[in-house]
Structure 1
Amino acid sequence: MAIRAIPSSREMTVEDFKEWLKQFDTDRDGRISRSELQEAIRRRGGWFSGLRAGRAVRRADMDGSGFVDDSEVENLVAFAQKTLGMRITAW
């Protein structure tokens, strides 16, 4: 399966964002690790992807597991909008 980047001008819903993010779940465990998020940011064209991914996981990971699971993905929306310049709508 090819991993594709989301153009910065594209507006997407939260569900679209979740589907895009799932492309980077390389171990298919249903959670996003720091390294998986780092790859998503890198593919998006973001600089300092390791630092940004670490900060995003710390902010989104409410249970302290070190991963962002499905219930915490919505916490990444604000990060993606602010830091990655993605436009994400509620519906």
Structure 2
Amino acid sequence: MAIKGIPLSREMTVEDFKEWLKQFDTDKDGRISRSELREAIRTRGGWFSGMRAGRAVRHADRDNSGFVDESEVENLVAFAQKSLGMKITAW
């Protein structure tokens, strides 16, 4: 399992990314909220975590539920790579 405080520049796989996100699913509902994602970004050393989390959820949340669920994680991966500078590989 990934460590919460690792820097944004660390490379991880998609599976590592999913496991890392699960650490921040505080209500264990299987979805990531804006506030949970804000905490995840903050622990990675990201600036403006609230603003970035809002943009990330809006980008990834295709059903407009206000959450990122399992079927939308790939959208979040794409956003994290492009807009947060995270290095996420297929394996």
Q: What TM-score, normalized by structure 2, do the two folds share?
A: 0.90
Aligned residue number for residue 89 of structure 1: 89
Aligned: 1:36 with 2:36: yes
3-state SS, counterpart of residue 20 of structure 2: helix
Aligned length: 89
Native 8 Å contact 2:8 2:45 kept in 1: no
| 1:28 shift after superposition | 0.4
1:44-69: CA deviation from partner (whole Å, max 9, x where unpaired) = 11111111100100110001100000
Distance 1:47 1:62, change over 3 A: same
Aligned residue number for residue 21 of structure 1: 21
3-state SS, counterpart of residue 67 of structure 2: coil
Aligned residue number for residue 79 of structure 1: 79
**Where do 5+ consecutive residues of structure 2 fail to align?**
none
Give the 4+ runs in structure 1 shifted more than 4 A.
Answer: none
Higher strand share: 2
1:15-46: CA deviation from partner (whole Å, max 9, x where unpaired) = 11000010000000000000000000111111
**Where do 5+ consecutive residues of structure 1 fail to align?**
none
| 1:85 shift after superposition | 1.9
Aligned: 1:67 with 2:67: yes
Native 8 Å contact 2:8 2:46 kept in 1: no
Task: Please report the RMSD computed on the Cα atoms of aligned residues, expressed in angstroms.
Answer: 1.3
Identity over the aligned pairs, expressed in percent? 85
